[in-house]
Structure 1
Amino acid sequence: MNKETKILLLGAGPMAIEYAKILKHQNINFITIGNTRNGALKFEEEINTKVVLGGIENWIKNNTLINLSLYKVIVTVNENILGTIAKLLISSGFKNILVEKPGGLDFEDIQSVNNLAIENKANIYIAYNRRFFSSTLTVRDLIELDGGVTSFNFEFTEWGHIIKDLVKNEGVLGQWFIQNSSHVIDLAFYIGGNPYVLKSFVKGGQSWHPNGTIFSGAGISDKNALFSYNANWESAGRWWVEFLTTENRYIMKPMEQLFVQRRGSIKIEQIELEDELDKRFKPGLYKQVEAFLNSPTKLMKIEEQIKMLPFYKTMIEGDIINI
């Protein structure tokens, strides 16, 4: 990281606390900007760092002589205003911004962030920390040694009976597929290849998520790997991903761990991981922060997210895409 680079951390909630723990551990100075005194008090108590209250808009107004392009910004605000804050930052002159997944409230919001970023030549990165799990980094290497993925499967079942009672800002639960399940879907396609052919089926729906609660589909990725997925938010299940090569089946269930079933065997063995950082900090977050500060090409750029949105839309609506 350039010595002149400065860090802004927007938000003082639980996710901001996780980022702050890592920044402090790396001896990186940062400014935390929050809106509510209650949230700030908890942050200050745990991190022992003051929070600047009043929100980012007021901070910008009070710092008109500062070159905002020298700042790198981490955005951890509430899901419903992710896009709004990202667009405010872009319009104000910030050029390097890490926004918590999925980069906005919904598809249209994410698209508008991207449009503004292009117009202002800003770099917007989407924070999918599971890309940086030790299990993810390890399985990528193992798959490459095996000669590549030939097929993969994943499940993104959500516990609907619990989610329906979560206290969230207006509109967030209705976008739960992109707001939360995209963690699993992004990881599956990140390793197995993005969809090239996709056929999807949807049924069900609840008042909190009318666009379906039971999902199934299959297709071919751009790595020429066949894939399938399912999720039933009205039943039991969990998140998991598995990748198959000509030699092995790699299982991430739970996703923080990695197991292997070797060809010709029914035995499933756990693979030992170098995951000290994932145990000490929120899994994947430490290396994600490192990437943002020092090698951002390892992160998802918002342009990649935009390319995935038509496939996410198909998975929600049950249409067919063949591009």
Structure 2
Amino acid sequence: MILLVGAGPMAVQYAKVLQGMEKPFVVVGRSQQSAGNFNASVGVQPLVGGVEAFFPSIHAITHAIVAVSVEQLEYTSTYLLENGVKHLLVEKPGGMTLEAIERVQALAQAQGASIYIAYNRRFLASVIKARELIEEDGGVTSFNFEITEWSDTIQKISKAEGVKENWFFANTSHVTDLAFYLGGKPRQIATFTAGGLSWHRRAARFAGAGETEEGALFSYSGDWEAPGRWAIEVLTLKRRFIFKPLETLQVQLINSVAVETLNIDVTLDADYKPGLYLQVKHFLVSDKSGLCSLEDHLENSKLYARIAAYV
């Protein structure tokens, strides 16, 4: 049996995927209000009271999807691990701080459990096609990405204490994870930061560069006080792959200035939250390729902490 923890908007998206797969599942939410909204959206009534109200249960839980708010990720994952759940798909970033992620990973290792962090953009049709073509071209030679966030918009969002101060983990890691997933794992990196915001005091501007383990060079930048958006460009000996927005794939061929949008099958990304269907499919079967393990995510988060001036 699959347990879906959470009854908010993200949990609704997971429920739609599970229904599309015809997979039986049970849902646990916290409040009557969120449970009512969930039921109205997908026609399934969650149990109210959180995971504490669910255990001990008559259901044998084989897999759990944790789709709670950022500040509840560590507690919920810990509770599930302590109650014997061995396979978890946890919404990013798995914990609000680097220390929280480390604690969850230590417990998962002690319990012999497998945890994956839900970076669904790894499973976008654009990303899958690009990886296929990158391999065809002989690999990545260089890449660059932009990590700008819209500060004025974020400032108005109501979040639990600490979430905005760790916004790079909570949100920006989406594009950073995808950039390194496409381009390669860094071997060395130089990072620079400047400024600060009322809600993210440690930095507001970011820049850096480095080299991957495969020898590709990369650079990144982001200015949270200026216009911009997430974007990634990956270069090979034959092509430049442009993700701007991330859900689309544009290609520029060598010795050409023309940029063309590739016509790819985006049916799953149109029918469900982009990338979510294939992510859940890989989590539920033995093929874990493409998923971000908690162990890898912890190592990546140490890098993100340097980029964001959290350490």
Q: Indicate whether the TM-score tops 0.5.
A: yes
- State yes or no: 1:93 paired with 2:84: yes
Contact between 1:130 and 1:183, CA under 8 Å: does it hold in 2? yes
Corresponding residue for residue 261 of structure 1? 252
Could you tell me which amino acid in structure 2 is paired with residue 8 of structure 1?
L
Please give the per-residue CA displacement for 1:260-318, whole angstroms capped at 9, x wherever unaligned.
11110111011111111101110000100101111352211100011112211211229
The answer for the alignment partner of 1:214 in structure 2 is 205
Match for residue 157 of structure 1? 148
Deviations 1:232-265 (A, max 9, x none): 0000000010100011101011100000111101
Other-structure match for 1:3: none
| CA distance, structure 1, for counterparts of residue 93 and residue 173 of structure 2 | 8
What residue number does 1:315 align with? 307
RMSD: 1.2
CA distance in 1, matches of 2:91, 2:310: 27
Which 4+ stretches in 1 moved above 3 angstroms? none
| Structural mapping, 1:69-148, within 5 Å | 70-148=61-139
Tell me the distance in 2 between the aligned counterparts of 1:66 and 1:27: 18
Task: Note the 1:49-64 alignment, pairs <5 A.
Answer: 49-61=44-56, 63=57
Cα shift readout 1:27-72 (whole Å, capped 9, x = no counterpart)? 11100100111111111011011111111112104x2x554xx420
Amino acid of the residue matched to residue 28 of structure 1? K
> Unaligned stretches of 5+ in structure 2?
none
User: 1:255, 1:267 → 2: CA distance?
Assistant: 19
Matched letter for residue 288 of structure 1: Q
Number of the residue aligned with 1:235: 226
| Contact 1:200-1:318 at 8 Å conserved across structures | no
Q: Distance in 1 between matches of 2:174 and 2:105?
A: 20
2:9 corresponds to? 14
Q: Is the 8 A contact 1:40 1:51 kept in 2?
A: yes
3-state DSSP of counterpart to 2:110: helix
2:104 maps to a residue whose letter is V
Query: TM-score if structure 2 supplies the norm length?
Result: 0.97
Tell me which residue corresponds to 1:38.
Answer: 33
Contact 2:71 2:163 in 1 (8 A): yes
Unaligned ranges ≥5, structure 1: 1-5
What is the total number of aligned residue pairs between the two structures?
A: 310
CA distance in 1, matches of 2:28, 2:228: 38
Aligned residues with identical type, % of pairs: 43
